[in-house]
């Protein structure tokens, strides 16, 4: 009974646009676990027991949260299904403080990428990719999925990405010129592949390829010497921070700027964009200084 209910629930949610890949596997596992114990309805104790097999507290919270949402759906039509309490706490992990690359560090990274690879196409590929990430704020997954047809006169077309949304990302003329220089080399190297960025074996890049190339370039650029180490995602963080620092004064202007940036970055909610304000010390200092000037009537 529970297995059939899981199938119906997943079909309804997926028809509404939710992928539910991992939750789908989890709910099927939970249904099998409950039915093996003779339960045809969701029982809070059974759900908690099943979720408790996860290794970490966060994983337990997420597993139980998946069952809670499923149980609410079933309970709305049949009160015999119990909705478990969220005894393992929040499902949201605390986001780590972002590593913000300076303009000088980004330049060193790009230069190192162009010089550190044994093949010219690799150096061109990764230096262009890192530069594009830094000046557009794209996610790595979005950049490596770009096709040649996605480069349009209006910008880059990003298709159905992390939150199943598509968007247009305008690019500066200098970024476009750099991309065209790379494509001139890349088209001759892999004429039968329509991905923008290709590997040395003429295949689309994988995330693991980008991570490896980034580590090599970062080491040569001297970015791995401190206690905190950047990842390719740091290029996106750096773009978002620069964009926020360029925000004009005025409440209405700030609201428009934040909404535009949230859309540009492909955030599912503007709250994810506001996170940078509390996560980056420089931005928090700017906010504190603005607040102090407001409170003192502009007197220093």
Active site residue 195: no
Whole-angstrom distance, CA of residue 266 vs CA of residue 164: 10
Q: Specify burial of residue 166 (Cβ count, 10 A radius: 0-12, 13-18, 19+).
A: exposed
Active site residue 94: no
Choice among 9, 126, 182, 276 that is catalytic: 276
Start-to-end Cα distance in the chain: 70
Choice among 63, 195, 236, 237 that is catalytic: 236
Choice among 80, 119, 147, 162 that is catalytic: 162
Choice among 233, 242, 257, 272 that is catalytic: 233
Per this entry, what is the length of the chain?
Answer: 300
**Residue 163 per-residue DSSP state:** T
Active site residue 186: no
Active site residue 272: no
- Write the CA distances from 10 to 163, 195, 271, integer angstroms: 17, 33, 27
Task: For residue 249, give the H/E element and its range.
Answer: none
Choice among 60, 62, 63, 139 that is catalytic: 139
**Furthest-apart CA atoms within the chain: distance in Å:** 72
Active site residue 267: yes
Active site residue 139: yes
Which positions are annotated as active-site residues? 139, 162, 233, 236, 267, 276
């Amino acid at each position: 009974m529970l297995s059939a209910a899981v199938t119906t629930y997943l079909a309804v949610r997926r028809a509404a646009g939710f992928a539910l890949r991992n939750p789908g596997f989890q709910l099927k596992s939970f249904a099998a676990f409950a039915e093996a114990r003779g339960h045809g309805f969701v029982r809070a104790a059974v759900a908690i027991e099943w979720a408790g097999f996860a290794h970490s507290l966060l994983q337990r919270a997420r597993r139980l949260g998946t069952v809670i949402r499923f149980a609410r759906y079933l309970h709305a039509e049949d009160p015999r299904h119990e909705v478990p309490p969220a005894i393992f706490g929040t499902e949201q992990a605390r986001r780590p403080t972002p590593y913000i690359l300076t303009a000088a560090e980004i330049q060193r990274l790009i230069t190192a990428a162009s010089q550190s690879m044994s093949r010219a196409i690799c150096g061109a590929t990764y230096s262009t990719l890192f530069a594009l990430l830094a000046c557009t704020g794209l996610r790595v997954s979005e950049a490596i999925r770009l096709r040649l047809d996605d480069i349009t006169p209006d910008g880059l077309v990003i298709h159905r990405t992390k939150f199943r949304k598509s968007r247009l990302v305008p690019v500066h003329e200098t970024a476009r010129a750099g991309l065209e220089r790379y494509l001139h080399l890349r088209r001759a190297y892999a004429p039968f592949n329509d991905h923008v960025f290709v590997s040395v074996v003429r295949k689309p890049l994988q995330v693991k390829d980008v991570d490896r190339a980034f580590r090599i370039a970062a080491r040569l650029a001297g970015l791995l010497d401190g206690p905190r180490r950047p990842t390719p995602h740091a290029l996106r963080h750096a773009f978002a921070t620069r964009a926020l620092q360029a925000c004009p004064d005025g409440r209405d202007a700030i609201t428009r700027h934040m909404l535009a940036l949230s859309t540009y970055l492909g955030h599912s909610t503007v709250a994810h964009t506001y996170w940078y304000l509390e996560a980056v010390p420089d931005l928090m200092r700017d906010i504190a200084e603005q607040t102090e000037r407001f409170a003192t009537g502009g007197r220093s």
